[in-house]
Structure 1
Amino acid sequence: MQRFIVLDTETTGLSPDNGDRIIELGCVELVGRKPTGNNLHLYFNPERDSHEDALRVHGLTTQFLSDKPKFAEKARDILAYLQGAQLIIHNAPFDMGFLEKEFSLLGLPPLKTAVAGVTDSLALAKELFPGKRNSLDALCDRLGVDNSGRTLHGALLDAQLLADVYIYMTRGQHALLGDDGQSGSAHDSPAQRIDLRQYQLPVLPASAQELAAHEETLAAIDKASGGKTVWRSAQS
């Protein structure tokens, strides 16, 4: 069964190439689309101060981090934990850029060679909700995930919220596929595989409100594409 790790980091700033470092790592393990409790949460001493803007976001002071281990002390444990997993990260290029920089500074192989792959949940959200705000807070509000405890950004809390958001965003896929994301096999039990041909399924027409919401979404997609959507030209 596929092992997923929902991952988030907090950093001293925005640019690993300019010396910014990871100060917090939070990971939530999902197996069969369910949290296992086998999570990873670490703080790091970056040996530098956070930028003021970053400090306002995460609240992790230099004093608080001063007695925490350096990333180098935990790097191999992190690689062992993430080995073979499919990573789920919101705005993945940002976090992966920092992680790859940290491993590179230590002369370790790139993280991407140790994991099965990386899913960018922000890219997924933009496909599902084009033209909408798709920050983690916005997705929590849209999908009914309780984020009332998120007064500051925290890597583990954000990973836990993102795990719930990801499960909600992919629940349609889950209904069509097995828990591990693979199509059903010949060994599936009758309770798992139901032949819908025996049922006369009703056809439910969309309501006026649903049609209006659909048209609003189409208009947002058309606007985002600069008026280049195929269906608009086909209708004209």
Structure 2
Amino acid sequence: MSRQIVFDTETTGLSAENGDRIIELGCVELVNRKLTGNNLHLYLNPERDSHEDALKVHGISNEFLKDKPKFAEVVEDILAYMQGAEIIIHNAAFDVGFLNKELELVGRPPFATYVSGVIDTLAMAKEMFPGKRNSLDALCDRLGVDNSGRTLHGALLDAELLADVYINLTRGQDALLIADDVQDGGTGPQAVQIDLRGIVLPVLRASEAELAGHQEVLAQIDKASGGKTIWRTFESGEKAVP
């Protein structure tokens, strides 16, 4: 069984090292890439006020958080839920940094001690879409994930959106999962062998107009390169110079 937790936090500010704290924690569980509904959502009393800029982002008032549990009071529940899972986070360094600071404050080892690994979807997106905006909203737009309900940042909502984004980013892995099902004797789709030797593929020849158009494009490229295109060398029968 492959268990993954899609994870997000909201915080009082941007710097755990300077005393900012987690105020909301949202977790969405995936088992074999399927949503299970076994989610974890907590508001936390950070024992300090949120910065004004942070309030504009998450909209969670200081007054609302006053009667919520402190991190130390729920740390056991959080770690038991996360235990052994692979964690999926957008911009993992930020959330893991805050978790590590919270764990340090209660005398616990770093977050990596409790989980099997962390996947950073921001790093994944930057590799897949270099040079493009790769915020959660941008990825939702690019991948067709409905984020119309996201007027403010919220940990659980963002984790749910990120789960959809992650599934879309890794859609090509479905084939691997099917293969695993076959090897494990599961009830998923079974591999079917097809004999291709009897299949004759038609050969579509280029028309005279298409060939002429192709030669025209090659001539333009050859002219732009100052006559240095490699195919002209082969056409003349000369040996290409490495």
Structure 1 residue 195 and structure 2 residue 193: aligned? yes
Q: What residue in structure 2 maps to residue 207 of structure 1?
A: none
* Structure 2: gaps of 5 or more residues: 203-242
Q: What residue in structure 2 maps to residue 55 of structure 1?
A: 55
Per-residue deviation, residues 139-188 of structure 1 (Å, max 9, x unmatched): 000111100000000000000000000000100122x3116x95852636
The structure with the larger Rg is 2
Q: Is the 8 A contact 1:10 1:24 kept in 2?
A: yes
Per-residue deviation, residues 65-97 of structure 1 (Å, max 9, x unmatched): 011000110001100000000000000000000
Q: Is the 8 A contact 1:72 1:106 kept in 2?
A: yes
Q: What residue in structure 2 maps to residue 221 of structure 1?
A: none
Matched to 2:172, the amino acid is G
- Name the CA shift for 1:190/1:109 in 2 (closer, same or farther; >3 Å): closer
Matched to 1:177, the amino acid is L
Q: What residue in structure 2 maps to residue 177 of structure 1?
A: 176
Q: What residue in structure 2 maps to residue 131 of structure 1?
A: 131
| Residues in 2 aligned to 1:190 and 1:145: alpha-carbon distance in whole angstroms | 26
Q: Is the 8 A contact 1:3 1:30 kept in 2?
A: yes
After TM superposition, the structure 1 = structure 2 runs for residues 217-228 of structure 1, keeping only pairs within 5 Å, are none
After TM superposition, the structure 1 = structure 2 runs for residues 36-75 of structure 1, keeping only pairs within 5 Å, are 36-75=36-75
Matched to 2:73, the amino acid is E
* Identity among equivalent pairs (%): 68
Q: What residue in structure 2 maps to residue 99 of structure 1?
A: 99
Deviation at 1:201, TM superposition (A): 10
- Name the CA shift for 1:201/1:184 in 2 (closer, same or farther; >3 Å): farther
Q: Is the 8 A contact 1:177 1:184 kept in 2?
A: no
- Name the CA shift for 1:49/1:128 in 2 (closer, same or farther; >3 Å): same
For the residue of structure 2 that corresponds to 1:178, the secondary structure is helix
| Residues in 1 aligned to 2:59 and 2:78: alpha-carbon distance in whole angstroms | 23
| Residues in 1 aligned to 2:129 and 2:37: alpha-carbon distance in whole angstroms | 30
Q: Select the structure with the greater relative contact order (CA < 8 A; seq sep ≥ 6).
A: 1
Deviation at 1:198, TM superposition (A): 4.0
Per-residue deviation, residues 174-223 of structure 1 (Å, max 9, x unmatched): 2x3116x95852636693323355496989xxxxxxxxxxxxxxxxxxxx
* Structure 1: gaps of 5 or more residues: 204-236
| Residues in 2 aligned to 1:159 and 1:96: alpha-carbon distance in whole angstroms | 15
